[in-house]
Structure 1
Amino acid sequence: MVPRTAIRGRTVLLLTVVCAAGVLTGCRSLADAASASGCAGTESRVGELTSYGVLGSRPRGAVVPRGFEDPEAGCWEDSGEAWLYAERTYVSPGGKAEVTRYYRAAAEREGWQPSQATRQSSKSGRPANLCFTRGGTDDATVLDVYFLTAEILDAEDSEAGPEFGSGTGYRVSVTSAADGSAGSCSE
């Protein structure tokens, strides 16, 4: 028979390892934690996302609203997956249709390929949120252009400055999975 103190010692050791693994991995298994790289070492790839010209491109008269002067870029981990992003926020004095037309053309000039939903909205001529991918060797990168609402800004704890009252607020966002897996537009 094994003495109680030996069992208690092994149990304490096992619980210590399990608790430490849970704290260190956000409750993922050790195998999952070992295979996931997360955001570590992604700085250069974030830099690549910020270099896409479409982020700095904007229709005539569009302004960068107060509080959004600097591009947002980085890496975030959500549900065990790490995502890279670079984005800019603008307000255009034109309407949604003008913003939509501008970014369809700007994205395609830069080699972005429109999603099925973006192609459909283009045929109808309606203003819409847009989504593009790079395809080919860069199928991990996705470009979204979407219109901002008060709900989106509230969820971000962002304050809509006076510029938002003078036009159409929107965001241009380039994202990629940190592990380089293929990206796609949600249809």
Structure 2
Amino acid sequence: MSRLLAGVLMASALTGCSLMELARDCEGTETRVAEVGALGILDSRPDRATARQRSEEEAPQCYADSGDVVVSAGRTYAFPGARAEVAAHYREAARKDGWRPDPDAGPGELIFAKADMYLSVDFTRTGYGLTVLSFE
């Protein structure tokens, strides 16, 4: 048992992770989950976009993985127009709401940052999805 504990402590020291960080969970994030789920940008949409029924994955939620605690929320919209219309809408709506383009976004990615949150717009065959991730 002492060898196992020594191995865990050595691994955490080498990776820069503490045991406390690895033990983090979603306890106490209920308020933040509700705040992220209520962000107005998630309900902003261009004309002709129609909201699809929300899936369980889009519901505001918290998840913890290897010490990272992330709150997320999403929406999916059907849209008959061009992707450029959606992109133009969110560039303007995000700017007005204090989001800025994420400088680390790759070519063709539509990602915005605000404080500790990221908003991504991902296109599908028949519309697009919005996802907000907040790193706690």
TM-score (norm 1): 0.56
CA distance in 2, matches of 1:103, 1:42: 27
Structure 2 contact 41–94 (Cα < 8 Å) conserved = yes
Q: CA deviation at 1:116?
A: 2.9
Q: What is aligned with 1:172?
A: 130
Structure 1 contact 100–129 (Cα < 8 Å) conserved = no
Structure 1 contact 143–174 (Cα < 8 Å) conserved = yes
Q: CA deviation at 1:71?
A: 4.7
Matched, 1:111 2:69: no
1:43-82 map, 5 Å:
43-66=30-53, 68=55, 71-82=58-69
Q: CA deviation at 1:51?
A: 2.2
Q: Could you say if the C-alpha distance between residues 95 and 68 of structure 1 is closer, same or farther in structure 2, counting changes exceeding 3 Å? A: farther
1:92-111 map, 5 Å:
92-111=79-98
Matched, 1:34 2:33: no
CA distance in 2, matches of 1:145, 1:107: 11
- Matched to 2:129, the amino acid is R
Aligned residues: 126
Q: CA deviation at 1:68?
A: 3.8
Q: CA deviation at 1:78?
A: 2.6
- Matched to 1:174, the amino acid is V
Alignment gaps of 5+ in structure 1: 1-13, 23-27, 122-127, 149-163, 179-187
Q: Secondary structure at the match of 1:48?
A: helix
Q: What is aligned with 1:145?
A: 121
Q: Could you say if the C-alpha distance between residues 117 and 39 of structure 1 is closer, same or farther in structure 2, counting changes exceeding 3 Å? A: closer
CA distance in 1, matches of 2:41, 2:53: 20
Q: Secondary structure at the match of 2:75?
A: strand
Q: Which has the larger radius of gyration?
A: 1
Q: CA deviation at 1:106?
A: 0.8
Q: CA deviation at 1:67?
A: 5.6
Q: CA deviation at 1:69?
A: 9.1
Q: What is aligned with 2:113?
A: 133
Q: Secondary structure at the match of 1:86?
A: strand
Alignment gaps of 5+ in structure 2: none
TM-score (norm 2): 0.75
